[in-house]
């Protein structure tokens, strides 16, 4: 797979988003590789824990707006729906997913990280949802975000014009573990994942399953509602103008 690399460290499978030239943006190609790699790791009897990280300067800059901008409304709606279905699936697979966030987690990248079972952030990591400032509601992940931090904080994060750092993300509950200044989030996440992988896997599984019931409750319905609002929002002039900025020049008619 080109856009997701795979490494093993004992019983931990490390899946790394590998599209640094696009800041690990989430589009058709990387989604396909994520679906395949997570499915394979989840079914591998030699893997107890999955660790998700990003290659390059940050974890993920969010949805690939070139893919979103190039499609029609229906195609964009469907891509958003498939991204939402993938991030929701992380709560339901039978192995813990630990996420290491160095650099930045923006837009859909923030939602992807927040949907993992355990999130490790570096202090200087930038966390931000820029969608509302561009003219649209985030199309997936808001229910999970609200489950993590509460609805009032989730709303504040959704329309905030500025990013927060990893220290604040940890304080709010968006991240579970704050790495010390002398270690990357990936290093701390791997150490945590190896400790978790050494525990009895059947008990880890039942713990995940018990809490997944409440974490995932209503997420599919709320994601569908958010995606419908998103599709409505991108019809507005401001949103369309911002979408057009991400099109290749030829496609944009420039």
* Res 253: pLDDT: 43
Q: Is the residue at 193 inside a domain? A: no
* Res 254: pLDDT: 33
Residue in the structure block whose two tokens are 């989030």: 185
For residues 51 and 123, what is the distance between their CA atoms, to the nearest angstrom?
A: 19
pTM: 0.94
Backbone angles phi, psi at 14, to 5 degrees: -100, 115
* Res 252: pLDDT: 44
The CATH number covering residue 154 comes to: 3.90.226.10
* Res 33: pLDDT: 97
Q: Which is nearest to 145 in space by CA: 200, 75, 230, 215? A: 215
pLDDT tens digits, 212-243: 999 999 999 999 999 999 999 999 999 989 88
Which regions of the chain are under pLDDT 50? 250-254
Q: Is the residue at 59 inside a domain? A: yes
Q: Is the residue at 125 inside a domain? A: yes
- Supply the range of the domain harboring residue 130: 4-186+198-252
Between the two ends of the chain, the Cα-to-Cα distance in Å is: 34
Q: Tell me which DSSP letter residue 150 carries.
A: -
* Structural domain count of the chain: 1
* Res 249: pLDDT: 55
């Amino acid at each position: 797979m080109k856009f997701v690399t795979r490494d093993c460290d004992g019983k931990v499978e490390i899946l790394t988003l590998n599209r640094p030239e696009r800041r690990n943006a989430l589009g058709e190609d990387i989604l396909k590789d994520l679906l395949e790699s997570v499915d394979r790791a989840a079914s591998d009897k030699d893997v107890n824990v999955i660790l998700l990280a990003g290659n390059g300067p940050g974890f993920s800059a969010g949805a690939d707006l070139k893919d979103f901008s190039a499609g029609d409304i229906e195609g964009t709606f469907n891509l958003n729906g498939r991204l939402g279905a993938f991030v929701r699936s992380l709560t339901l697979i039978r192995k813990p997913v630990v996420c290491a966030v160095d650099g930045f987690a923006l837009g859909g990248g923030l939602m992807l990280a927040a949907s993992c079972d355990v999130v490790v952030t570096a202090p200087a990591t930038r966390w931000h949802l820029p969608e509302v400032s561009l003219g649209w509601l985030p199309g997936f992940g808001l229910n999970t975000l609200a489950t993590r931090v509460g609805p009032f904080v989730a709303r504040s994060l959704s329309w905030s014009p500025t990013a927060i750092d990893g220290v604040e993300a940890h304080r709010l509950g968006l991240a579970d573990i704050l790495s010390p200044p002398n270690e990357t989030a990936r290093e701390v996440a791997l150490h945590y994942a190896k400790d978790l992988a050494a525990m009895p896997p059947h008990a880890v599984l039942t713990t995940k399953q018990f809490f997944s019931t409440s974490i995932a409750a209503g997420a599919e319905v709320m994601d569908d509602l958010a995606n419908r609002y998103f599709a409505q929002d991108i019809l507005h002039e401001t949103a369309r103008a911002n979408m057009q900025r991400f099109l290749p020049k030829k496609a944009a008619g420039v």
